[in-house]
């Protein structure tokens, strides 16, 4: 979402945006499926604030959707463990409490929405919402799982990036079958 917000602020500086597992809002609100209800979000913030290392250990496996010994799970866990818990909590609040749905219709930069088939952080409905509200966007469902496919399935992500960096189509849906 940061790239989209930057493109909105700096019109003309971006030719195309490619998102990966992006969500305009992580909360389930007003018939919108963001993935988390308010109680789940409060529990998450409480876990980060009260027992950060236990949360980081569990979340790393959950986010990458791989076993704990998988290199991506280990790398992500180590990255989380290197972060101070107060910074992690502030970052999580900034990301998860944001709601940018009302800004999508005004965004004009061609956007590719890359989304894994199963993402524990961003449901397919959120990716579809982005696609439906970003004019001229392309939605591609990647045949992998997890919120960090660049770590777990880099060949799939690189293939999609190469396709879309060469592609000049303005609107389509790819790989949703």
pLDDT tens, residue by residue, 32-58: 999 999 999 999 999 999 999 999 999
Residue where a domain stops, chosen among 58, 78, 96: 96
pLDDT computed for residue 169 by the predictor: 54
Residue 32 lies in a domain: no
- Residue 112 is part of a domain; what is its CATH number? 3.40.50.1820
What is the domain range of residue 16? Answer: 2-24+103-174
In a shared domain, residues 60 and 45: yes
The number of domains in the chain is 2
Domain end, chosen from 96, 111, 136, is at 96
Same domain, 48 and 85: yes
% of the chain exceeding 90 in pLDDT:
82
**165 in a domain, yes or no?**
yes
Tell whether 108 and 154 lie within a shared domain: yes
Span 74-129, pLDDT tens digits: 999 999 999 999 999 999 999 999 999 999 999 999 999 999 999 999 999 999 99
**In a shared domain, residues 109 and 138:** yes
pTM (2 d.p.): 0.88
SS (H, E, C) the chain: CHHHHHHHHCCCCCCCEEEECCCCECECECCECCCECHHHHHHHHHHHHHCHHHHHHHHHHHHHCCCCCCHHHHHHHHHHHCCCHHHHHHHHHHHHCCECHHHHHHCCCCEEEEEEEECCCCCHHHHHHHHHHCCCCEEEEEEEECCCHHHHCHHHHHHHHHHHHHCCCCCEEECCC
Does residue 166 lie in a domain region? yes
In-domain check, residue 30? no
The answer to whether residue 161 is domain-embedded is yes
Domain end residue (candidates: 80, 96, 112):
96
Q: Note whether 44 and 19 are same-domain residues.
A: no
């Amino acid at each position: 979402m940061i790239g989209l917000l930057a493109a909105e602020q700096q019109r003309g500086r971006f030719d195309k945006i490619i998102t990966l597992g992006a969500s305009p809002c992580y909360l389930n609100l007003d018939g919108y499926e963001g993935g988390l209800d308010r109680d789940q979000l409060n529990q998450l913030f409480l876990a980060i604030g009260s027992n950060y290392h236990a949360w980081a250990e569990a979340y790393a496996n959950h986010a990458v959707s791989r076993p704990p010994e998988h290199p991506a799970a280990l790398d992500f866990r180590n990255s989380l463990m290197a972060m101070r818990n107060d910074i992690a909590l502030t970052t999580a609040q900034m990301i998860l409490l944001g709601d940018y749905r009302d800004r999508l219709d005004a965004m004009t930069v061609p956007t590719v929405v890359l989304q894994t088939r199963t993402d524990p952080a961003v449901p397919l409905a959120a990716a579809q919402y982005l696609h439906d509200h970003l004019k001229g966007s392309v939605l591609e469902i990647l045949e992998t799982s997890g919120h960090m496919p660049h770590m777990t399935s880099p060949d799939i992500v690189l293939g999609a990036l190469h396709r879309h960096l060469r592609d000049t189509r303005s609107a389509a849906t790819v790989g949703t079958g």
